[in-house]
Structure 1
């Protein structure tokens, strides 16, 4: 076994956990911005949009940096930049500082996201097996502890103490992982240099199709996260605890399957795993749309989580190994389109629900997942064979 790659596998897992921990800890801080800055919910919505736009807008630039310098140095740089972002937001004295702080938060987290996925692709190539799904599982695990422990510290010691504690934990994870990342060479080759005139927007249509597949995979995830609780409330009058179970079971099933997903993909291949996952996720959402009781709806959303879990990791691996493009460029493009869908999805789904209701909306979203399953053949590049692995830097 390649010992360096094996150590790097756990180092990149720590990076995913650090990113997820910061994002999870950010969630309980969001409502506190309202009284702290005396702002309304629409203004808060705009600030959150600024964070998302900052993330998506920076992703292609991160891809270009990875192409030029390699994933390891870029990941080290942006992981260091993520450490202070939550205190930067929490300690902002007014809206004039808060708005750019939110944009910086999104940009640094988004760039780190692209870099750590690109590093995971390099490790997959060295190990000749999948690690992407479990890496995303560590992100989910970090988010779980960040949200849970972060909420506890916030409620007992205040928002400022929580933000500083989060920065300390993130720093410990980042500094412990940095020495063990694979020092890959710059990803630039003759094909990427030929595209030098268009450094930010690849012209390969098949790469953008992978991006559309990521969008179709992530929008249903956002629909459960943002709207399932309201669906249970309006359809069956469920109490808040039951409402919260919809996304809890979805997220729990997704996290468990992500830790199992690499073994499944190594055994059955990316294409078959993608196809079956898409159909399972579609069946779960359709079950939620047709459910006759809250329990059945919650169980259906959990089934959907099992399917959705490995779809985005496979797409990121496919993008990172897409022929004719450097890993950073491919991942950045696909990540940007996928996360752009998450930005648009909440308001778009709300508009659709208002006009046609929850059941038809979830049924329609399940069809997006069927489309992804039908296009599963486009993820074949995610399967790395030993013969295809590049020489180590």
Structure 2
């Protein structure tokens, strides 16, 4: 919890950590109103799926350009501009007058999300380098806290009674706090890196990191989307417990991220990713037992295991020798989000073609793959 105390006691660290929370607050507030947007525009599930695809398309469109934008502006300014862009773009999906404007507004919202995501992770990487302090994992913990705040805010839905007004209040409050904090990071620029010409030797470690990012974030997405149905259909959990797997996963994900930095300083990033994979593997065996209580404990272990993986991957990616931090972070973000979006879809095909339980066997196999890949990384000096 050292990094959590560091963030809460020093505005230099709290400021970028709050950007992490902000990103999830904006996105989560939009997400809780998806049903009302669907109803207001009278679109079916297929149309809604296409609209949400445009949000993902916006994220992936900005990824190849993000590192150039960040390097040109400076990582502090890029983070702040991302905050401003998100504050504006978060409003439009809820007032889109028709389906086509909804798709356009979600594309722009996704692009601003993608820029902010890469900028804030690069910012934390640079501050860690300057100060010799680890707080990347705790910053991702603040992202998870943003989701908790959105969940608490959802109780205000019947009180406020207006999706746009709810988002407007949220945006103004979040923007105000960011305005107060922005001077803590606004002038920060990435330290110059002695870039090496492209080579297979340079690309190999990034490729391994990318595969781990794809698999680990794909597993996160799969558990988030399929854990409730798994408890309902496979373990035959009672109705009041079918959401417990997701709750246990999310709670331990947040808890693990606040512990991750201290453990990372002792073990190193690669060993911590390996430890996370080992814990996740244990969790999957409990999930696959088919017993409700054991499965819930298994989902909790999954959350604990995966909690440290993504922050450590960003930390490693931002410190790869011969690669600019923004480029390394952008590569991890691109592969990771690909997994997050495609993972649940792949699991859906497996569940449809075979059984839902076979999907979780596939997730277990992917966790074993991550563990094996960390052995490859441990033999290479990449930072």
TM-score (norm 1): 0.89
Aligned counterpart, 2:155: 152
Contact 2:21 2:143 in 1 (8 A): yes
Distance 1:112 1:263, change over 3 A: same
Aligned counterpart, 2:367: 369
* Bigger mean CA offset, 115-124 vs 63-72: 63-72
1:171-190 aligned at under 5 Å gives the runs 171-181=175-185, 183-186=187-190, 189-190=193-194
Are 2:244 and 1:241 aligned? Answer: no
Q: Which of the residues 105, 129, 133 maps onto 2:109?
A: 105
Contact 2:214 2:340 in 1 (8 A): yes
Query: Residue by residue, what CA displacement relative to the aligned partner does 1:91-141 show, whole Å, maximum 9, x if unpaired?
Result: 111112111100011110111010000000011112213211000000000
Query: Residue by residue, what CA displacement relative to the aligned partner does 1:216-275 show, whole Å, maximum 9, x if unpaired?
Result: 111111111101111111124334431111111101011011011111111222122111
Quick one: higher RCO (CA 8 Å, sep 6+), 1 or 2?
1
1:1-393 aligned at under 5 Å gives the runs 6-149=10-153, 151-157=154-160, 158-181=162-185, 183-186=187-190, 189-191=193-195, 204-289=203-288, 291-376=289-374
Q: How far, CA to CA, are the matches of 1:8 and 1:234 in structure 2?
A: 47
Q: How far apart are residue 188 of structure 1 and its match?
A: 5.4
Query: Residue by residue, what CA displacement relative to the aligned partner does 1:198-233 show, whole Å, maximum 9, x if unpaired?
Result: 9xxx97232122111101111111111101111111
Q: How far, CA to CA, are the matches of 1:62 and 1:14 in structure 2?
A: 21
Q: How far, CA to CA, are the matches of 1:152 and 1:15 in structure 2?
A: 23
Q: How far apart are residue 379 of structure 1 and its match?
A: 6.0
Q: How far, CA to CA, are the matches of 2:10 and 2:152 in structure 1?
A: 30
TM-score (norm 2): 0.91
Contact 1:133 1:258 in 2 (8 A): yes
Contact 2:222 2:347 in 1 (8 A): yes
Query: Residue by residue, what CA displacement relative to the aligned partner does 1:303-331 show, whole Å, maximum 9, x if unpaired?
Result: 11110000000000000001111110110
Partner-residue secondary structure (3-state), 1:292: coil
Q: How far, CA to CA, are the matches of 1:299 and 1:108 in structure 2?
A: 36
Q: How far, CA to CA, are the matches of 2:189 and 2:117 in structure 1?
A: 19
Q: How far, CA to CA, are the matches of 2:35 and 2:257 in structure 1?
A: 30
Contact 2:205 2:377 in 1 (8 A): no
Q: How far, CA to CA, are the matches of 1:310 and 1:76 in structure 2?
A: 26
Q: CA RMSD for the aligned pairs?
A: 2.6
Contact 1:22 1:143 in 2 (8 A): no
Q: Which runs of 5+ in 1 are unaligned?
A: 389-393
Q: How far, CA to CA, are the matches of 1:226 and 1:152 in structure 2?
A: 22
Distance 1:240 1:165, change over 3 A: farther
* Bigger mean CA offset, 89-98 vs 108-117: 89-98
Q: Which runs of 5+ in 2 are unaligned?
A: 1-5
Distance 1:20 1:380, change over 3 A: farther
